[in-house]
Structure 1
Amino acid sequence: MKKIVIMTHAGLAQGAKETVQFLAGNCELTAVSCFTEEMHPDHYIETLLQNKKPEETLIILTDLKGGSVNQKVAQHCLQHNFYLITGFNLALLLELTVVDEAMINPAYLREIVEKSKQEIVLMNDALQDLPANEDFDFFEA
């Protein structure tokens, strides 16, 4: 079973979850808004890892590399069997949501991380590179 947990500062995790569910339909995602009055990441991470089943593929996404949430999760990364990706974007989250669990391995995760980096574009430059008065579709590749 694939389990995806989004852990971020404030409400980013919930917004990302709602957006993916809007685009991809109802899917299994857990959103954790850390460092609020209700949630400190230490307790949540410990409980999550204690309850993780051996057959479960756990992927945790955090918002900022070096940020406090990422630091808390990273402390457990080498001792426990889960994947940690930081600096996620919607393209990455959507791909993880729809991919079959059997596809998930370190090489595949490296590949989709690289692909998601390509989704970050200064559109002003991309639009200037188009011929004048030409219809365009950025989804054609």
Structure 2
Amino acid sequence: MAQIIIATHGGLSRGMLDSLHMVAGGAADGIETYSLEFGQNPNDYYEQLRERISASDEQFIIMCDIKGGSVHNALFRLTEFPNVVIFSGLTMGMALEIALTARDGLDAAAAERVLEAAREGVTVCMGGEVVDEEEDEDF
């Protein structure tokens, strides 16, 4: 069984997990959160996770809030382990897709489906319409 972690700045991870429980029910059970608070160093959490990962054969799926943010940068180093997958740019669509489909782990095709679910969940609405880039393309 995969270990799923939501790692963010502040309380976003706890709020995301709360929302996952509301939408996905028991599928969100067992998902862990890490919330970087003021005065904390994400490298401390990196060290804790590194120890767990090095002693485990289970896959670790980590969702981070901001690509290039301090949490992402610290935890990205965990990809040195073949059993670690890290996503950045956390969305509810991403978290829901992982909660519902990734309990037994992810391969490359499943990881791509997670990214697609996250992308499809992002839209812009203006003037009473959904702005769709694909319709604007001429090719």
TM-score by length of 2: 0.80
Partner SS for 1:5: strand
- State yes or no: 1:5 paired with 2:5: yes
Match of 1:81 in 2: 83
Contact 1:35 1:41 in 2 (8 A): no
Give the ranges of 4+ consecutive aligned residues of structure 1 lying more than 6 Å apart after TM superposition. none
Q: Post-superposition shift, 1:34?
A: 0.9
Given that 2:64 and 2:72 are in contact with CA atoms closer than 8 Å, whether structure 1 keeps it comes out as yes
1:49 and 1:80 in contact (8 A); partners too: no
Distance apart, 1:112 and its partner CA: 1.8
From the superposition, tell whether residues 68 and 36 of structure 1 become closer, same or farther in structure 2 (CA, over 3 Å): same
Give 1:91's aligned amino acid: G
Which deviations, in whole Å up to 9, do the C-alpha atoms of 1:23-54 show, x marking residues without a partner? Answer: 111312111111434x4321222212212353
Q: 1:29 aligns with which of 28, 31, 36?
A: 31
Q: TM-score, normalised by structure 1?
A: 0.79
C-alpha RMSD of the superposition:
2.0
Larger radius of gyration: 1
Shift of residue 103, structure 1, vs aligned partner: 5.8
Percent identical among aligned pairs is: 24
Asked if the contact 2:42/2:70 (under 8 Å) is kept, the reply is: no
Describe the SS at the equivalent of 1:25.
Answer: helix
Letter in 2 for 1:77: T
